[in-house]
Amino acid sequence: MAKSSLTFVLLVALFLPRNAETQSLSAISGQAGGYVYFAEPADIENIRGNLDYATSDDNGTSIGSVLSSAFGGISLELTSKNGRFVYASGLKYSRVSGKLSMDHLYSFHTPYFFFRFRESGLVTEYVTLRKVIQHSDFIGIPLEVRCFPFDGRRVRFYIKGAAEVNYKIATATEIDFYEPAMSKYKKQVEAELPAVAQVHGVLSLAGGIRFGKPDAILFGFEFAGPAAFISNDAAGIVRPTVGAGFLFSVLIPVNR
C-alpha cells in the first residue's frame, strides 16, 4: 500500500501543470473499457497440476492463468493554453478478475487441477477443480496526461501516460469443482487462497484518437498498452506481468 501510494504521489507531482493559471477546465469525460494481462499463477503451495504431469516440486506450472478487468468512470479535464496537453482525473469503478484453470490441457483429457485441502498422518486428500476465479471490485483515482502532437479540428491523435491507485471495496471467489459433490469444501479451499490486496497501483501508456465537431460532443477511442501493476503480488491468485486494453470515451465541452 505504501509503495503504491508513494508512486502515485510522485506521479501527481510530475503530471500536474506547474502553472495552474495556464490551464482551463475544458471537458467532462465519461469512459468505459477493459484490460487483459498476461499472468502467472501465484505461489500457492496447495495447488498441483494434474498429477500425471506435475511433480511434487512443480507447483501448478501447467495451470493456465490470466487477469482481466472491466471499468467505467468519469473525469474532469484541464487543457493547456496552447491546447497541446490535457490533464485529467476523476473516479473510476473497475471489476478485476484473476483466473486459474486447466483449459489449455483439454487435449490431454485433464480439464482439472488438484488442491490439497487436508493432511492426516500419511494420508493427503485432494479436491479436483476446473477453475478458480477471484472477482474484486475497486474504486480508483486515475491521473492522466495526453499530448496532442498535431493540430486538427475534427480529428486529433494523441499519446497518453496514466497512473492510478485503486481501493478494494468488495471481493468474491468462484470455484468450479470437477466433481460437484466436492463443492461442500468451497470455504476450506477459499481460506487457503492468497487474498487480493486492499490497494494496488497501475501504470500505463496509450495512443488514441478523438473526433467530432469543435465545441460539440466529442468521441474517443484508445488502445492502451503496455500496462503493468506496480506490485505484481497484489492480485491474489495470479501475478500479472504486462497487459493491454482499450477505452471508449464521450466528452462534453465546458467553458467554451
Residue 11 predicted with pLDDT over 90: no
Who has greater pLDDT, 17 or 214? 214
Residue 1 predicted with pLDDT over 50: no
Beta-carbon contacts of residue 75 (< 8 Å; ≥ 6 apart): 28, 29, 31, 88, 89, 90, 91, 142, 144
What's the CATH number where 246 sits? 2.40.160.20
pLDDT given at position 14: 52
pLDDT tens-digit map of 88-122? 999 999 999 999 987 654 445 567 888 887 777 77
pLDDT tens-digit map of 119-161? 777 777 888 898 999 999 999 999 999 999 988 778 999 999 9
Number of domains in the chain: 1
Who has greater pLDDT, 15 or 115? 115
pLDDT given at position 6: 46
CA dihedral 18→22→157→89, nearest 10 degrees, is 60
Which residue do the cell numbers 480508483 mark? 140
Q: Which domain covers residue 82, as residue numbers?
A: 2-253
pLDDT given at position 21: 47
Determine the Cα–Cα distance for residues 183 and 127; give it in Å rounded to an integer.
9
Q: For residue 224, what is its C-alpha cell?
A: 492502451
Pairing of strands 199-211, 85-101: unpaired
